[in-house]
Structure 1
Amino acid sequence: MKKLFMSVGLSFSLIAAAFAHNDSLEQLNSQVAELLSPFQNQTTIAQLVFDKLELSAERTNNLALHALYRQVGQQNIFELKLDNLSYNYENELPKTTFKGSLSTDLTQIISQDQINDLVPGAAELIEQIVSDFVREYEDAVSVKGDVTSITQDAEGNYIGLTALFSMKIDLNKLPEYKSIEEVMITDAMVSMSLNVKTGFSLDAVLISNPKYLGFNQDERGLKEMLEQLLAGNEEALGAIEDLAMRIDELANDILGKRLNLSTYFKFKK
């Protein structure tokens, strides 16, 4: 009988905890929706939804969210979409999965000559990233970056490209000047595509190093930030609002053709 009462009691405790968790998540989503309400109008949508959020005393076990910012202009659109951002640390290794895109017509923002610089420049950037990893981690890293396709029109103008990037770091082979605690990511698989008319998309799977210094108990990390959000901390919620404002300003600049991409990219004269 005692075991029966204990079992029933445990069941009720688990049910109560589940309801409390759902209430906290629902409250957080309501607060975020209220923060983003000033950005909602006939031409703009701004959304951020936490689908899953599970914390233990030590760390974030599970996190999943999706987001969307979309503004329609007279001649172009700006859409920043996060289909899925999930984080799981229930097992030995923390895993992050990302799928997102930025949709806009680049031909409305920059000239074809600049696009013809941008696409090959992206290929060169991938090569540079590979070189940087080899230089920093030496024999400890296995890294590969490939441009899998480049498309051009009949006149030879660039239209887009697709690329793959993979990386794996062996923590047992780190150079003497690099400590295990400094390595944040040990495995990465990234695929990307760029089309000058439709925009950019990125898919990634990352494995974090559990010995990374950011996971230390005395460091303010993901868990502490999420705890503040669940508690309705004004500073934590304000960070979401600030990000939304920055995205909104970027969209206005792109759709209003006020953005100077030369600030971010070096185009040939």
Structure 2
Amino acid sequence: MCLFIAKIWWMIPRVGTSASEIPMETQMVLLEAGEESVLSMADEETPAEPTAENKFYILVLPVLDGSFRTTLQGTSSNELQFCYESGDPEVQTSEALEGVFVNSGDNPFELIKDSIKILAKHKGTFSHLENKKSPAHLDWFGWCTWDAFYTEVSPNGIKEGLQSFKDGGVSPKFLIIDDGWQETDNDFQKEGEPLIEGAQFATRLTDIKENSKFKGSDTNLKELIRYIKENYGLK
């Protein structure tokens, strides 16, 4: 099983039996394997399915390494490749020291949890969920615009959505304006052109500023947020 980036900030799983099925921008690979003796392998034309007694799992995680990020991808020759990139042609290297983490165990759930704990301790840049305190607003009812608009979110759509909640008597306490408000760019996929396989991975965030939909004298993001707080009591 693998998890790969299907959109710029969205991962989905895929299950398969060969490396060639692993797509570009894969962020995790979990392999199921079985211990077999040389004699048993020689006696059978096809490998036997792993049993509960000899089954174990291998976790492969690409990680950040300084100025570089790693992803995984399969090839037509059934190989697993590590893609190591900085995102900047001026930032290059001839070696990758800590681009991939590999661990194994007999319980896939414990393997993933323990591996994240190991990485958290080694990297020192993040914490495992068990060591984090949940924010209070998780107990509030909120609305994320992705559920209604995906990337087609707009100021008018947000206002209409909040008004519909209010009319129904279930106004949310907080609002998440999700993907679709910020400046992005894709040199390989132009708007209106047919989808090119893999081109969605080339979409990059170019600025933490609102895009054209949220700019203007009466529709800019700052004024929209002020309007929402004043009229719908959101945080």
Question: TM-score, normalised to structure 2's length?
Answer: 0.21
Q: Between Structure 1 and Structure 2, which shows a larger proportion of helix residues?
A: 1
**Higher relative contact order at CA 8 Å, sep ≥6: structure 1 or structure 2?**
1
Question: Greater strand percent: which structure?
Answer: 1
